[in-house]
Chains A and B, each alone.
Chain A
Amino acid sequence: MEDDAPVIYGLEFQARALTAQTAETDAIRFLVGTQSLKFDNQIHIIDFDDENNIINKNVLLHQAGEIWHIAASPANKAVLSTCYNKTNDSKVMSCAAVWQMPSGWETGSHESADDSAQNPQTLELLFDLDSGTQHSSSCVLWEPMGDGKRVISLADNQALLWDLQESPTKATVSSTATLEGKGQLKFTSGKWSPHHNCSQLATANDTAIRGWDLRTMSQIYCVENAHGQLVRDLDFNPNRQYYLASCGDDCKVKFWDVRNVQEPVKTLEEHSHWVWSVRYNQSHDQLVLTASSDSRLILSNMVSISSEPFGHMVDDEELSEGEDNPQEEKVKEPLKDSVVSTYEEHEDSVYAAEWSSADPWLFASLSYDGRLVINRVPRALKYRILL
Chain B
Amino acid sequence: MGTHWLCCGGFFWSELAMDADTDGSGGPDESGRRRKVHGMLKLYYGLDEEGKISEKSQSLDPCDINGPHFDPELYLNKLRRECSLAELMDQETCMVKQIRSLDSDMQTLVYENYNKFISATDTIRKMKNDFKKMEDEMDCLSANMAAITDFSANISGTLQDQHAQITKLSAVHTLLRKLQFLFELPARLNKCLELKAYAQAVSFHRRARCVLQQYSHLPSFKGIQDDCHAIMDMLAQELRQRFRDGGTSAKDLSECVELLLQLDEPAEELCDKFLSHARSRLEADLQGLEAEIRPYPTAVKDASARRSSAGSPTDSSPKTSSLPSPTPNTDILEFIDRGCNEFVSSLCLVIASYQELFINHAQTGELASKNIPQMANRKLHVFVDDLAAQYFSLVERRIQEEKGVSDNSLLVRALDRFHRRLQAVSKLLPNSTVPNQGTEIVIRAATERVKQYLAALQSFYMDSLTDVRQALAAPRLSVAGGTGSGGGPHLGGGATSRDAPNSLPELLSILSASILNQIKSVLASVHLFTAKDITFSNKPYFKGEFCSQGVRESLVVNFIKFVCQSSRQFCESAGDKGGSTPPALLLLLSRLCLDFETSTISYILTLTDEQFLVQHHSPVTPVTILCTEAREAAQKLLNHYVKVQGLNISQMLRKSVETRDWVNTIEPRNVRAVMKRVVEDATSIDVQVGLLYEEGVRKAHSSDSSKRTFSVYSSSRQQVRYAASYTPSAPMDTNLLSNIHKLFSERIDIFSSVEFNKVSVMTGIIKISLKTFLECVRLRTFGRYGLQQIQVDCHYLQMYLWRFVSDENLVHFLLDEIVGSCAHRCLDPSPMEQSVIEVICERG
Contact = CB atoms under 8 A, between A and B. Distances in A.
A binds B: yes
Interface of A: 8-14, 37-39, 44, 55, 57, 59, 85, 87, 90-92, 114, 116, 118, 120, 225, 227-229, 250-251, 272-274, 293-295, 344, 347-349, 368-371
Given A90-B827, A92-B663, 14 more contacts: A8-B733, A9-B729, A10-B731, A37-B827, A39-B723, A55-B731, A59-B729, A116-B727, A227-B576, A228-B577, A293-B775, A294-B749, A369-B739, A370-B735
Contacts of B728: 59, 116, 118, 120
A90 B826 contact: no
Contacts of A225: 576-577
Contacts of A8: 731, 733
A87 B827 contact: yes
B85 interface: no
A68 to B, nearest CB: 9
Contacts of B771: 273, 293
Contacts of B743: 347
Closest 9 interchain pairs by CB?
Answer: A116-B727, A10-B733, A273-B750, A347-B742, A272-B749, A272-B751, A228-B576, A92-B781, A9-B731
Contacts of A371: 733, 735
Given A11-B729, A39-B722, A272 B752 contact: yes
Q: Which secondary structure characterizes the binding site on chain A? A: loop
A228 B735 contact: no
Interface in B741-794: 742-743, 747, 749-752, 771, 775, 778, 781, 783
A91 B663 CA distance: 7
Contacts of B751: 251, 272-273
Contacts of A227: 576
Contacts of B783: 90
B578 interface: yes
B63 to A, nearest CB: 116
B568 to A, nearest CB: 15
B747 A295 contact: yes
B778 A368 contact: yes
B738 interface: yes
Given A229-B647, A295-B747, A85 B781 contact: yes
Nearest to A251: B751
Given A38-B719, A85-B781, A90 B664 contact: yes
A344 B775 CA distance: 19
27 contacts: A8-B731, A9-B729, A10-B729, A10-B731, A10-B732, A12-B722, A14-B824, A37-B781, A37-B827, A55-B731, A85-B781, A87-B781, A90-B663, A90-B664, A116-B728, A116-B730, A227-B576, A228-B578, A272-B752, A273-B751, A273-B771, A293-B771, A293-B775, A347-B743, A349-B775, A369-B738, A371-B735
Nearest to B740: A347
A55 B663 CA distance: 38
A347 B817 CA distance: 13
B599 interface: no
B780 to A, nearest CB: 9
B490 to A, nearest CB: 30
B691 to A, nearest CB: 27
B789 to A, nearest CB: 15
B696 interface: no
Interface in B693-723: 719, 722-723
Interface string B567-583: 00000000111100000
B240 interface: no
B726 interface: yes
B834 interface: no
B825 interface: yes
Given A90-B664, A225-B576, A274-B775, A12 B726 contact: yes
B374 interface: no
Contacts of B742: 347-348
Interface of B: 575-578, 647, 663-664, 719, 722-723, 726-735, 738-739, 742-743, 747, 749-752, 771, 775, 778, 781, 783, 824-827
A39 B827 CA distance: 11
Contacts, number: 92
A347 B663 CA distance: 28
Contacts of B750: 272-273, 294
Nearest to B748: A294
A44 B728 CA distance: 10
A37 B739 contact: no
B767 to A, nearest CB: 10
A229 B752 CA distance: 18
A62 to B, nearest CB: 14
B86 to A, nearest CB: 129
A130 B517 CA distance: 71
A32 to B, nearest CB: 10
Contacts of B735: 10, 12, 369-371
Contacts of A250: 575-576
Contacts of A344: 747
Nearest to A32: B729
B679 to A, nearest CB: 23
Contacts of A251: 751
Contacts of B576: 225, 227-228, 250
Contacts of A39: 722-723, 726
A254 to B, nearest CB: 10
A165 B647 CA distance: 47
Contacts of A116: 727-728, 730
B734 A12 contact: yes
Contacts of B738: 369
Nearest to A344: B747
A191 to B, nearest CB: 20
Nearest to B722: A12
Nearest to A370: B735
Contacts of A273: 750-751, 771
A227 B429 CA distance: 71
Contacts of A347: 739, 742-743
Nearest to B659: A184
A335 to B, nearest CB: 27
B731 A57 contact: yes
B378 to A, nearest CB: 60
A137 to B, nearest CB: 15
Which one of B576, B578, B728, B778 has the greatest number of beta carbons of chain A within 10 Å?
B728
Contacts of B647: 228-229
Contacts of B739: 347, 369
Nearest to B751: A272
A370 B732 CA distance: 11
B219 to A, nearest CB: 104
Which one of A38, A55, A114, A274 has the greatest number of beta carbons of chain B within 10 Å?
A38
Contacts of A38: 719, 827
Contacts of A57: 729, 731
A12 B752 CA distance: 32
B711 to A, nearest CB: 19
Contacts of B726: 12, 39
A90 B729 CA distance: 29
Nearest to A119: B728
Nearest to B780: A92
A8 B723 CA distance: 23
B645 to A, nearest CB: 14
A181 B752 CA distance: 36
A209 B781 CA distance: 27
Contacts of A370: 734-735
A371 B734 CA distance: 10
A347 B750 CA distance: 14
A120 B719 CA distance: 21
Which one of B575, B742, B778 has the greatest number of beta carbons of chain A within 10 Å?
B778
Contacts of A12: 722, 726, 729, 734-735
B171 to A, nearest CB: 107
B154 to A, nearest CB: 125
B825 A10 contact: no
A229 B768 CA distance: 13
Nearest to A351: B778
